[in-house]
Amino acid sequence: MVALSCPHCGNKNDVIKFGTNRSGTARCCCLAPGCGKTFTPAPKSRSLSPEKEVAIERALAERVSQQGIARMLKVGRNTIRTVRKKGHSACSHACVTYSLSRKR
């Protein structure tokens, strides 16, 4: 087992496992007197992948409902609203280029 050290006080002896966070990575707690902080040794990023963002934009361009996109891609409705407000990314350009090439 790898000895973890507390990032707050540097103590290596009094660090214990303290459950998991939302993404499933381990949480730890420092039991040193005066510290008592909890921390995640190696947190995972919770940001949206570019592929999923493009999929959301394509579904929005095809006029799929936001609730349907959320259910289909397993993301929150607020995530879809955020992507929609960002707007103009590579997918928007690709969708416009595709629609212009189809009108011949």
Domain residue ranges of the chain, discontinuous segments joined by +: 1-46, 50-102
What is the mean pLDDT of the segment spanning 62-83? 92
Residues 50-71: pLDDT tens digits? Answer: 899 999 999 999 999 999 999 9
- Contact criterion met (CB below 8 Å) for 27 and 60: no
Angle at 44 between CA 39 and CA 49, to 5 degrees: 150
pLDDT band at 27 (very low <50, low <70, confident <90, very high): very high
Give residue 29's Cα distance to chain centre. 24
pLDDT band at 101 (very low <50, low <70, confident <90, very high): low
